Chains A and B, each alone.
Chain A
Amino acid sequence: DVKVTQSSRYLVKRTGEKVFLECVQDMDHENMFWYRQDPGLGLRLIYFSYDVKMKEKGDIPEGYSVSREKKERFSLILESASTNQTSMYLCASSAPTELTDTQYFGPGTRLTVL
């Protein structure tokens, strides 16, 4: 089974702090994604990566950056956290060889910015 893990289930940070959210997958998937999920807004794509050191902006990249130095690891960075970045953050991975784009999600990180 595909396993996607995220570094923290719950995180509380202060405004202005730099925040790192880590995601690791163990299935050698090329594609990795970061979403945020807010009530009534559904899943919104922040960034995704098709390969090591490659990244592409999703629908809401402002205020975020990403890093993918190794195939299995995709990090989301909040350079200067703000209260409007309080949300549930979800990481996912997929294999382009599957053709169907099925994504496998981690358990999520509930981030609160005070």
Chain B
Amino acid sequence: SQKIEQNSEALNIQEGKTATLTCNYTNYSPAYLQWYRQDPGRGPVFLLLIRENEKEKRKERLKVTFDTTLKQSLFHITASQPADSATYLCALSTGGGNKLTFGTGTQLKVEL
């Protein structure tokens, strides 16, 4: 069955450093990989999307890579700030109006 794995342990980093979150998947050939941010007690918010034929995507301080051979995506936040503290979810889809499959998320804590 399809499986998405994200680090279940919280990631603690210092302000100003680059945070790197990992998303691994098995038994899946996604056309799209997406990253969402979720704050406590709130719904997830879409951040960034990368297509299967793209290696890297950037948006301001965010960068996503997608390696379909390794079946892995890395999500980077550069110059991290305490306001970046949240849970980050990765999600996969085959596209064309279908469901998303979500990972369980990784909690990021950026400390002063």
Contact = CB atoms under 8 A, between A and B. Distances in A.
8 contacts: A4-B43, A40-B104, A42-B102, A99-B95, A99-B96, A101-B34, A104-B46, A107-B43
A107 B95 contact: no
Contact of A31 (B89, B97, B104): B97
Interface in A20-45: 30-31, 33, 40-43, 45
A102 B46 contact: yes
Contacts of B34: 100-102
A106 B43 contact: yes
Contacts of A110: 41
Contacts of A48: 99
Given A102-B49, A108-B43, A41 B104 contact: yes
A16 interface: no
B95 A42 contact: no
Contacts of B44: 43, 90, 103, 105
Contacts of A50: 97
A101 B99 contact: yes
A57 B95 CA distance: 19
Interface in A50-95: 50, 58, 88, 90, 92, 94
Among all A-B residue pairs, the 7 with the closest Cβ atoms: A96-B97, A105-B43, A42-B104, A101-B93, A43-B102, A100-B32, A108-B43
Given A42-B89, A101-B95, A103-B100, 14 more contacts: A31-B97, A58-B99, A94-B97, A99-B96, A100-B32, A100-B49, A100-B93, A101-B97, A101-B98, A103-B44, A103-B46, A104-B46, A105-B44, A108-B41
A108 to B, nearest CB: 5
